[in-house]
Amino acid sequence: MEIILGSQSPRRRELLAGLGMPFAAVSIDADESYPGELQAGEIPAFISRTKAQAYAEQLRPDQLLITADTIVWSDGHMLGKPHSEQEAFDMIRSLSGKTHQVYTAVTFARKAPNYQLETIVDCTDVTFAELTDEEIRHYITCYRPMDKAGAYGVQEWIGYIACTAIHGSYFNVMGFPTHLVYAHLKKYIQLNG
Amino acid sequence: MEIILGSQSPRRRELLAGLGMPFAAVSIDADESYPGELQAGEIPAFISRTKAQAYAEQLRPDQLLITADTIVWSDGHMLGKPHSEQEAFDMIRSLSGKTHQVYTAVTFARKAPNYQLETIVDCTDVTFAELTDEEIRHYITCYRPMDKAGAYGVQEWIGYIACTAIHGSYFNVMGFPTHLVYAHLKKYIQLNG
């Protein structure tokens, strides 16, 4: 069984590699829009399935495809990737001094014995300290988090200074709930030692 | 003010560097024994102070010394660094399928205006999935966690597969509660941008 990771995220590639199984990585272009009535974890679940379906024609029977999507959910609203520095600033300001949720969905797609998609969703509560405007501006200027949901990376400076606590999986906040992926894939993993 | 990190741990050096302030790192040899009546977070607090005191004679008035110590606390007992592979196996086996605590203490030492030590302690709950003997042996053989309290590193394979949830700071589990250190040091940090 060949494992294919359908993600451009260097963090997801690093975390899957850390599970110790060989895989190939591909980029999948997919429309990331979703029905407006979806809430919280339903959103990345839908998008991770869209990504898997966009690769369905190329998937071979001896392959297992993994796709994923991560969103930040705060006060009943989704925070996606910011479109400007001002939007990044507003997003981080809105997270300051509060607890938000990070949802990551992972979809596993196989073609044999029949075409099937299986999706798992993980949620982690993340609590941020109060941040000054100067700290938020420093982070945006030095780390340019325009490619990150909610405009922050927990493994970067802002995570070091602001993240006072999480409740759930840390790797899920990074974008890949490794313990759930491992539980799903362990039948394919050869342990040594 | 020159910041001195009194730790050989590459993880602590990396985490302090991630806060974005310049520092020098030194190794401090100190007796890590502690009074038998100490419990939980009192133990790393005592040891981090011992480390700071062992460097007191070398500390200059323009320097701020940071020392730290981390322990794993499980079922009312401390797990230190294992002395053998069998002990490492037994430690990880005892953590399997349960929640334990990781305590890190950080001591800040200054000589001016007068000699003073300040110690902070952070605690994180860490929940492990059930592990098979094969998984534990694989980890010990491939990652050799003999230098780690509780015989595991959360940022390694075992953390990826076993750590289903934490409650508190992830960086504290890695050995350095960055958000607390930042709050203490922010007056010395120059932000750009």
Closest-CA residue to A165 (of B150, B24, B122): B122
DSSP for A62-121 reads TEEEEEEEEEEEETTEEE---SSHHHHHHHHHHHTTSEEEEEEEEEEEE-SSS-EEEEEE
Mark which residues 134-163 of A lie under 8 Å from B by CB: 134-135, 137-138, 140-142, 154, 156-157, 160-163
Residues of B in contact with A128 (CB under 8 A): none
Q: In chain A, which residues have pLDDT < 50?
A: none
Residue A113: its pLDDT value, please? 85
CB < 8 Å from A in window 161-190 of B? 161-171, 178-179, 182-183
Across the interface, do B183 and A129 touch by the CB < 8 Å criterion? yes
**Distance, in angstroms, between A160 CA and closest chain B CA?**
5
Return the H-helix or E-strand segment holding A155: none
Distance CA B99, CA B174 (A): 16
Q: What pLDDT was estimated at residue A18?
A: 95
pLDDT tens-digit readout, B84-120: 999 999 999 999 999 999 999 999 999 988 899 999 9
CA distances (Å), B150 to each of B62, B112, B137, B162, in order? 36, 37, 15, 14
Cα A126 versus chain centre, distance: 14
The rounded mean pLDDT for chain B is: 95
Q: How many CB pairs under 8 A join A and B?
A: 94
Task: Please say if A69 is a catalytic residue.
Answer: yes
Instruction: Round to whole Å and give the CA distance between B73 and B18.
Output: 27
Question: Of A162, A163, A178, which has the smallest distance from its Cβ to B161's Cβ?
Answer: A178
Residue of chain A whose alpha carbon sits nearest to that of B176: A160
Q: What is the pLDDT of residue B78?
A: 96
- Kindly list the residues from chain A whose CB atom is less than 8 angstroms away from the CB atom of residue B179: 129, 160-164
pLDDT band at B188 (very low <50, low <70, confident <90, very high): confident
In sequence order, what are the residues at sequence separation of 6 or more whose Cβ sits closer than 8 angstroms to the Cβ of residue A69? Answer: A32, A43, A44, A45, A47, A48, A51, A104, A105
CA A113/CA A61 separation, integer angstroms: 8
Least confident segment among B42-46, B54-58, B77-81, B111-115: B111-115
Average pLDDT over every residue of B154-164: 97
Of the pLDDT bands very low, low, confident and very high (cuts 50, 70, 90), residue B129 is: very high
Task: Region of B168 please: left (phi>0), alpha (psi -120 to 50) or beta.
Answer: left
ipTM above 0.85, yes or no: yes
Beta strands in B59-115 (DSSP E): 63-74, 77-79, 99-110
